[in-house]
């Protein structure tokens, strides 16, 4: 194993934490996902996009030589299958390394898929148009920007407009390592549009998942190493102002929103040490939290699913649609559960 590894202090990694199992009555592993589905986004019509095959220096992979891809699953089907979407010619598939994703539906019903990509471990945001009839993604645009040095996730707010989290301040692997080790709190959220790119929130240990409330008033940001979810209010000029911070006892990765209730579903890593130092005999665990009424005095936090890694390792995302819960992982498999 080579390369720099991020080893934050043990308390931030919750290195000694073990999980108690919380099972759901009906779950099955999704066929065809064996090397991670770091992020999942579901359209209001039940079509779910999976970002699969993420690779990073120092991060375990079960398919190190296979490029990543985007899979689609129709949750309205009786026994839905995950099928790989074709991607239009001209896009470099060999170096496709998708990470956080977000969908956007325009006023003319065009569906855009925003994908954080790390071709050759660099940082871009790719915008695709989803062509449902053709089962394909048409590549529209690659975005690179100096304010996007280490992108983790995006939330689309327009056809070429988004908020993005940077999980590190630096791009260089050695500086990234130092930054994490020194706990600099330099990571941030950036707003991007074709006319304006700006820093809108900063001071996170490591900003990770990002999403938006159904009424579009609030942006939620997961700070994975601080074990926090930040609630930020969106201003007319797209700046963000902090409203509150919810402290949790786990490493929070991607955030999904139930559009009907506004509940936040969180893919969590109970023990970060096991995640970063992969040992198949002592694998990383999985944990899914549901957060209700985050704006209230006492938000309700429920552990909906937890597993010690015997079934599912390293859950990074959990998202719901019509009684179905999908759970994705950083580099392992994905689970389809009935609630």
Active site members: 99
By the rule CB under 5 A, 263 interacts with Ca ion: no
By the rule CB under 5 A, 315 interacts with Ca ion: no
**How many H helices and E strands in the chain?**
3, 25
By the rule CB under 5 A, 126 interacts with Ca ion: no
φ/ψ of 12, rounded to 5, equals -70, -25
Tokens of 188: 């941030």
Tokens of 28: 């099955």
Which residue matches tokens 């120092």?
A: 58
Answer yes or no: are the C-beta atoms of 137 and 89 closer than 8 Å. no
Binder to Ca ion among 253, 304, 326, 331 (CB under 5 A)?
Answer: 253
Distance CA 102, CA 257 (A): 12
Q: How many CA atoms lie within 13 A of 26 on its CB side?
A: 5
* 102 vs 123 by CB, closer to Ca ion: 102
152 annotated ligand-binding residue: yes
User: Do the strands 86-87 and 136-143 form a parallel or antiparallel pair, or are they unpaired?
Assistant: parallel
Q: Compute the least distance from the CB of residue 108 to Ca ion, in Å.
A: 23
Sole window of 58-66, 106-114, 127-135, 251-259 interacting with Ca ion (rule: CB under 5 A):
251-259
287 annotated ligand-binding residue: no
* 153 vs 263 by CB, closer to Ca ion: 153
* 254 vs 271 by CB, closer to Ca ion: 254
By the rule CB under 5 A, 223 interacts with Ca ion: no
By the rule CB under 5 A, 150 interacts with Ca ion: no
Number of residues that bind Ca ion (CB under 5 A): 8
Binder to Ca ion among 69, 80, 100, 284 (CB under 5 A)?
Answer: 100
Segment 185-189 long-range contacts (CB within 8 Å, at least 24 positions apart): 187/150, 189/163, 189/164, 189/165, 189/219, 189/221, 189/232, 189/240
Binder to Ca ion among 13, 36, 37, 39 (CB under 5 A)?
Answer: 39
DSSP-derived letter for residue 121 is G
H or E, element range at 272: helix 272-276
DSSP-derived letter for residue 173 is H
- Per-residue interface string for the shown chain with Ca ion, residues 196-215, x marking contact by CB under 5 A: ------------x-------
Sole window of 24-32, 75-83, 122-130, 247-255 interacting with Ca ion (rule: CB under 5 A):
247-255
Sole window of 73-81, 82-90, 245-253, 291-299 interacting with Ca ion (rule: CB under 5 A):
245-253
Cα-based angle 291, 292, 293 (whole degrees, multiple of 5): 125
Binding residues for Ca(2+): 38-39, 101, 152-153, 208, 253-254
Residues that bind Ca ion (CB under 5 A): 39, 100, 102, 152-153, 208, 253-254
């Amino acid at each position: 194993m080579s390369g720099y590894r991020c080893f934050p202090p043990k308390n931030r990694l919750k290195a000694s934490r073990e999980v108690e199992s919380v099972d759901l009555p009906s779950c099955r592993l999704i066929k065809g996902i064996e090397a991670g589905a770091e992020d999942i986004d579901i359209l209001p019509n039940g079509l779910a996009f999976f970002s699969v095959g993420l690779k990073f220096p120092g991060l375990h992979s079960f398919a190190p030589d296979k490029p990543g891809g985007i899979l689609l699953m129709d949750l309205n089907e009786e026994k839905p299958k995950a099928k790989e979407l074709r991607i239009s010619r001209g896009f470099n598939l060999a170096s496709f390394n998708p990470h956080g994703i977000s969908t956007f539906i325009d006023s003319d019903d065009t569906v855009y898929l925003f994908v954080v990509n790390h071709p050759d471990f660099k940082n871009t945001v790719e915008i695709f148009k989803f062509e449902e009839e053709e089962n394909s993604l048409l590549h529209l645009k690659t975005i690179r920007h100096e304010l996007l040095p280490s992108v983790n996730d995006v939330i689309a707010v327009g056809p070429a407009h988004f908020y993005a989290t940077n999980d590190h301040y630096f791009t260089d692997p050695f500086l990234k390592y130092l930054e994490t080790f020194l706990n600099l709190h330099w990571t941030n959220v950036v707003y991007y549009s074709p006319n304006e790119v700006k820093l809108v929130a900063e001071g996170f240990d490591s900003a990770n998942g990002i999403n938006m409330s159904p009424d579009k008033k609030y942006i939620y940001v997961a700070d994975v190493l601080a074990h926090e979810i930040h609630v930020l209010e969106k201003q007319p000029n797209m700046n963000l102002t902090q409203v509150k911070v919810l402290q949790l006892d786990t490493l929070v990765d991607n955030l999904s929103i139930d559009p009907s209730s506004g509940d936040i579903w969180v893919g969590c890593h109970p023990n970060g040490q096991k995640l970063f130092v992969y040992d198949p005999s002592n694998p990383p665990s999985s944990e899914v939290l549901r957060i209700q009424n985050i704006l209230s005095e006492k938000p309700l936090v429920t552990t909906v699913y937890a597993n010690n890694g015997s079934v599912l390792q390293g859950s990074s995302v959990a998202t719901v649609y019509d009684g179905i819960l999908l759970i994705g992982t950083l580099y392992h498999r994905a689970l389809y559960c009935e609630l």
